[in-house]
């Protein structure tokens, strides 16, 4: 039986959902600091930085709480798989921004 090479879900099998969740989370978190949110009136300019930091903190805290609940050797649901990868990418992006590099 040949694998459908054009179908990412077929190639990634059980990892596809976790990767999609991680991608969606990272895209949302990546665009949180975008000034366009203020321009569109979705957030107040004075509150924007605080909102961004609160979102990052909330996301990271949720990931840590979930990881704390998981015993070693336990199967992890797709949503939980995504978060450690997201956290590493967020940390990398923050470090790059701190150094003045494009994230």
Q: For 30-69, write each residue's pLDDT tens digit.
A: 999 999 999 999 999 999 999 999 999 999 998 899 888 8
> How many CB atoms within 10 Å of residue 37?
17
User: Scanning the structure block, which residue is given the tokens 């600091």?
Assistant: 33
- What sign does the CA torsion over 82, 83, 85, 91 have? positive
* pLDDT tens, residue by residue, 2-37: 556 678 777 788 888 889 988 999 999 999 999 999
Tokens of 83: 């978060």
Domain boundaries, the chain: 15-98
pLDDT at residue 34, rounded to an integer? 97
Burial of 18 (0-12, 13-18, 19+ CB in 10 A): buried
pLDDT category of residue 93 using cuts at 50, 70 and 90: low
pLDDT at residue 1, rounded to an integer? 46
Res 98 pLDDT > 60: no
């Amino acid at each position: 039986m040949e694998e459908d090479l054009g179908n990412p879900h077929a190639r990634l099998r059980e990892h596809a959902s976790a990767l999609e969740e991680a991608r969606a989370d990272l895209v949302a978190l990546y665009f949180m600091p975008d000034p366009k949110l203020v321009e569109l009136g979705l957030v107040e300019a004075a509150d924007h930085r605080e909102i961004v930091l609160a979102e990052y903190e909330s996301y990271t805290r949720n990931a840590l709480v979930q990881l704390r609940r998981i015993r070693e050797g336990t199967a992890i649901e797709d949503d939980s798989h995504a978060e450690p990868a997201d956290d590493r990418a967020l940390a990398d992006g923050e470090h790059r921004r701190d150094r003045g590099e494009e994230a």
